[in-house]
């Protein structure tokens, strides 16, 4: 994947990078079927748990039929997306990051491994003048967002929340290349379900790209309940890691990526 090609003054054709996010924290079980669903399907969804179709779990194409998850199917601003072009934003994103080392508690939630910040106020970002605190980060393998239909082997979502409850997710894509000693620290903490760990004194900026060029768009959680009004901040520049490091994530969860969703007229802006 490469970079951006200017198509005209405002439009850019993307060749590389993106990020996506989701709060993979949510665990919700299906109790009742959607009205449109057949009885047979309804039965299969009873007590079923959402997933990616593995071990009888409810696959992404049917999340919207599960109770409380209708927006997964009916929403018009769903994530992830395939990024094919970006428009120079009229309103400056003004993306600022204030990250410092902090401790994370690590938990495998059955869908991904989540690194929960022990002190969210230590790490903040701001976009469009609004401040968000880092709650957690987690991964998807392969990437959820695609650039020109290209998946990266790994995508990490850094989930932030504002005081009034709005979510902003910084997505970072990773590709094979030189060793990444910082990402290796994360890879070494990918616990199995039921186990716990701590990632101490870790600065998340160390596994983000130095080039902060950002693809911003309005989207959703990429896991049920697929809630919208998520400010996505996909980092255009992928970060490299060794194949061995990437393999540790893939061995932890492979295929925990929701397929890309319809753009529905949304624009992706680039600052
Ligand atoms: Zn996610």
From ligand 1's centre to the CA of 209, what distance in Å? 18
Tell me if residue 111 is catalytic. yes
Average pLDDT over residues 176-185: 98
From ligand 1's centre to the CA of 257, what distance in Å? 8
User: In this model, does residue 42 exceed pLDDT 50?
Assistant: no
From ligand 1's centre to the CA of 141, what distance in Å? 10
From ligand 1's centre to the CA of 242, what distance in Å? 22
Average pLDDT over residues 115-141: 97
User: In this model, does residue 244 exceed pLDDT 60?
Assistant: yes
Catalytic residue among 111, 145, 157, 160: 111
From ligand 1's centre to the CA of 39, what distance in Å? 31
Q: What are phi and psi of 200, to 5 degrees?
A: -95, 145
Q: Which residues contact 81 (CB under 8 A, 6 or more apart)?
A: 20, 145, 217, 219, 260, 261, 263, 266, 268
- Domain ranges in the chain are 3-17+71-270
Convert 10-41 into a string of H (helix), E (strand) and C (coil). CEEEECCCCCCCCCCCCCCECCCECCCCCHHH
C-alpha span between 215 and 88 (Å, rounded)? 10
From ligand 1's centre to the CA of 3, what distance in Å? 24
What pLDDT does residue 29 have? 36
What pLDDT does residue 271 have? 84
Q: Measuring CA to CA, which residue among 137, 168, 167 is closest to residue 155?
A: 137
Three-state SS at 149: coil
The pTM for the full model equals 0.85
C-alpha span between 155 and 18 (Å, rounded)? 9
pLDDT-derived band at 48 (thresholds 50, 70, 90) equals confident
Alpha helices in the chain (DSSP H): 39-45, 71-74, 181-187, 243-252
User: In this model, does residue 12 exceed pLDDT 80?
Assistant: no
User: In this model, does residue 219 exceed pLDDT 90?
Assistant: yes
pLDDT in tens, 74-119: 999 999 999 999 999 888 999 999 999 999 999 999 999 999 999 9
User: In this model, does residue 5 exceed pLDDT 50?
Assistant: no
User: In this model, does residue 46 exceed pLDDT 70?
Assistant: no
Strands in 55-195 per DSSP E: 82-83, 85-88, 96-98, 102-108, 113-117, 124-127, 130-140, 146-147, 154-161, 167-176
What pLDDT does residue 15 have? 34
From ligand 1's centre to the CA of 10, what distance in Å? 30
User: In this model, does residue 257 exceed pLDDT 70?
Assistant: yes
Q: Which residues surround ligand 1, an ion (CB under 5 A)?
A: 21-22, 157
Q: Please give the mean pLDDT across all residues of the chain.
A: 87
C-alpha span between 191 and 193 (Å, rounded)? 7
Architecture of domain 3-17+71-270: Roll (3.10)
pLDDT-derived band at 234 (thresholds 50, 70, 90) equals very high
From ligand 1's centre to the CA of 138, what distance in Å? 6
What pLDDT does residue 266 have? 97
User: In this model, does residue 194 exceed pLDDT 50?
Assistant: yes
Average pLDDT over residues 48-55: 93
Three-state SS at 3: coil
């Amino acid at each position: 994947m490469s970079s951006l090609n200017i198509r005209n003054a405002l439009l850019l054709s993307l060749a590389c990078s993106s990020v996506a996010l989701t709060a993979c924290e949510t665990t919700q079980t299906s109790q009742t079927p959607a009205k449109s669903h057949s009885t047979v399907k309804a039965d299969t969804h009873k007590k079923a748990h959402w997933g990616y179709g593995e071990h009888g779990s409810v696959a992404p194409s049917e999340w919207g039929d599960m109770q409380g998850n209708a927006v997964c199917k009916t929403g018009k601003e769903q994530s992830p997306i395939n990024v094919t072009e970006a428009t120079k934003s009229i309103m400056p994103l003004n993306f600022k990051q204030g990250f410092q080392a902090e401790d994370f508690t690590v938990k495998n939630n059955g869908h991904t491994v989540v690194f929960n910040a022990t002190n969210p106020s230590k790490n903040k970002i701001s976009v469009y003048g609004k401040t968000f605190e880092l709650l957690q980060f987690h991964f998807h393998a392969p990437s959820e967002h695609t650039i020109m239909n290209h998946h990266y082997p790994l995508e990490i979502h850094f989930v932030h929340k504002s005081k009034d409850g709005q979510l902003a997710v910084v997505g970072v894509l990773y590709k094979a290349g030189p060793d990444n000693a910082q990402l290796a620290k994360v890879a070494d903490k990918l616990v199995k379900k039921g186990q716990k760990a701590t990632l101490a004194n870790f600065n998340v900026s160390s596994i983000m790209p130095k080039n902060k060029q950002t693809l911003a768009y309005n989207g959703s959680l990429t896991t049920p309940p697929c809630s919208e009004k998520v400010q996505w901040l996909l980092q255009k520049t992928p970060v490299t890691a060794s194949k061995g490091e990437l393999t540790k994530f893939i061995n932890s969860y492979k295929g925990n990526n929701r397929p890309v969703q319809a753009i529905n007229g949304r624009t992706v802006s680039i600052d």
